[in-house]
Chain A
Amino acid sequence: MVTEADYTLDKDDGGRTVLRLKGPYLLSTISDVDTGLRKIDEQIDVVDLAEVSEIDTVGAWFTNQVASNHSASIENADDRAQRLLTAVGESSNDSTVSAPRLPLLTRAPEAMGEKVFNAGHGIVQVIGFFGQILLGTASILRHPRRFRYRALVHQFESVGVNALPIIGLMSFLIGIVIAQQGAVQLQAFGAEALTVNLVGRITLRELGVLMTAIMVAGRSGSAFAAQIGTMKLTEEIDAMRTIGLSPIEVLVIPRLLACFFMMILLGFYASCMAIIGGAVISDLTLGIPFWTFLSRIHEVVPAHDVWVGMIKAPVFGLIVAISGCYQGMQVEGNSEEVGLRTTKAVVQAIFTVIVLDAFFAVFFTEIGWG
């Protein structure tokens, strides 16, 4: 049996140009002949299918194309070929397969304009979302029984308790790095004793809370966006609304509160772990005993450093939770959007946290908590 598609071109008795197709004309064999057949310049009068061993819709469609390009007639098609030819003849479709795309020069400004528009629109929507949260909070305050304590406890667990190991380890290592690297620099001035001040102040004031916020944004902010986004896709959110549950009350507020409270505890915990890490490495390499390091912390770190950290922590928590929930609620259409919105939630949260941290730094110094 012939396994390759082929064709010949000759004149028949009547002087007509006949294109004789041979062998199987199938999806798997069409690439044998497609370029050749398309390049025929000669006028073809008849396409002859007598020697075609097998044909499927692709073969039929291709035959149809060749015949209609040359306005030739098709002869000797068997029953099956005839049926297929009719079927594909009725299925002509000249629309493009890919979604329409503009040329680059138009697309670039269009994308730019869309970004600007979306940014403006986004600000309005975030404000709207904020308003919804306030309304939701107000309605919970009026009907405290409606509040989902179980959901809140569950969120406490997943945002706070489950994050303890990773945040603890991260902070411990950061404490080690700060103490060790700080000591190397301070030794040049003979001031390695100040390592305690360095570790204590920087972790309680800045790094403990900041690193925790980044970690929580990566762990929980992304989870919020993905969870709520998926629920949006599967119409769970719509189902909630029809039952009379407010997604803000059920989904968003427990997450906000969990981040609010857990960030305070996690931030403090992270600072403590970092100090312990610093103390361990000082004990090992600087000759400052572990307990001496800890009691020195008490003397050199002013109380307001702790306050600075603990005031920032819940604010950062709120930012992480709001951007996670907000992006989740914005998901529409397909699963790709969930990924996109999750990324956005994390990036937005971390960026906002760092910008705000800069403002806090200036503010607290100005009010004399330097």
Chain B
Amino acid sequence: MNNIVDEIFGETKPQRYERFRGEYPVRVRGLVNAFGDQVIHDHLDLDVKRGEILGVVGGSGTGKSVLMRSIIGLQPPVDGHIEVFGQAITDAEPDEALGVRNRWGVLFQGGALFSTLTVGENVEVPIKQFYPQIEPDITHEIAAYKVVMAGLPKEATSKFPSELSGGMKKRAGLARALALDPELLFLDEPTAGLDPIGAAAFDSLIRELKETLGLTVFLITHDVDTLFAICDRVAVLADQKVIAVGTIPELLELDHPWIQEYFNGPRGRAAQGKPSDG
């Protein structure tokens, strides 16, 4: 009885976790996702190595975003097993899931910033949510330096999302994703809709943050340049499965038609620095 009362009213001591030291922060086994009759994933397996940037590619509608949503627990899968930091997400108790949630950061496609809060306040939200015991002025300062860390100018801190450009919104979303100093970062098409200069800058920012903060990055992208520039490994989604995972040279050796077309198509060749045929 007391436990229940404590749980509801008591001040819960924040849970503390050591950094994940295992090899695979994310393990997906036999994942099945379906909307009605339409099967998106059919027994899909995927491992993300610690400290790598894993690019996830695939044609439109192959379920890249659904895969990400399954891993972060927004899309309950029909079947399969997902482990994040060695904890099962699929059948996690709410509390356990929460213990994983403050160790990852997610950047949604459109930034998904809270439109009624300033950029700085957006960054503060997760900090306040998970660590309410931290003094407000410290949260302010933490939020402020995260904003600059994500590559935004200082003045953006007190601006509202509607006052920002598309690229700045993405950076603000990234700042919020980095708010809790996560070990694992999920990025859903971070460079979509950015101009090439902005996209390249964003790529190098992610690379840099990964190096400094020791992040593991799960990156969904359509951008071939991003793949070549920053991804350590690339996972290809097709036929409801991950058909191949590996470095780009490894993938180029495979003769799957989609992979060949993807990397050796005109855009792929351009990104590789080869002249396109014809």
Q: Which residues of A contact B (CB under 8 A)?
A: 1, 3, 24, 26-31, 34-35, 54, 56-58, 61, 65, 80, 83-84, 86-88, 90-100, 333-336
Contact = CB atoms under 8 A, between A and B. Distances in A.
A230 to B, nearest CB: 13
Interface stretch (B42-50, B142-150, B219-227): B142-150
Contacts of B155: 95
B109 to A, nearest CB: 15
Nearest to A53: B18
B207 to A, nearest CB: 13
Given A83-B211, A95-B155, A336 B120 contact: no
9 contacts: A30-B134, A34-B135, A56-B181, A87-B213, A88-B145, A93-B148, A94-B154, A95-B157, A97-B158
B18 A57 contact: no
A87 B121 CA distance: 22
B130 to A, nearest CB: 8
B161 interface: yes
Interface of B: 14-19, 102, 115-116, 118, 120-121, 123-124, 127, 130-131, 133-135, 138, 140-149, 154-155, 157-162, 178, 180-181, 211-214
Contacts of B118: 97-99
A86 B19 CA distance: 21
A86 B102 CA distance: 24
A32 B195 CA distance: 44
A24 B181 CA distance: 14
A44 B116 CA distance: 42
B127 A88 contact: no
A27 B158 contact: no
Contacts of A24: 16
Contact of B181 (A26, A333, A335): A26
A27 B145 CA distance: 14
Nearest to A83: B212
Contact of B18 (A1, A58, A97): A1
A210 to B, nearest CB: 36
A31 B124 CA distance: 15
Given A35-B135, A96-B120, A97-B158, A88 B149 contact: yes
A258 to B, nearest CB: 31
Contacts of A98: 118, 120-121, 158
Nearest to A1: B18
A56 B149 CA distance: 13
Contacts of B15: 28
A100 B158 contact: yes
A57 B115 contact: no
Contacts of A335: 115
Contacts of A31: 131, 133-135
Given A30-B134, A93-B148, A94-B154, 13 more contacts: A27-B127, A34-B135, A35-B135, A54-B19, A57-B149, A57-B213, A83-B211, A96-B158, A97-B121, A97-B157, A98-B118, A98-B120, A99-B160
Contacts of A94: 144, 154
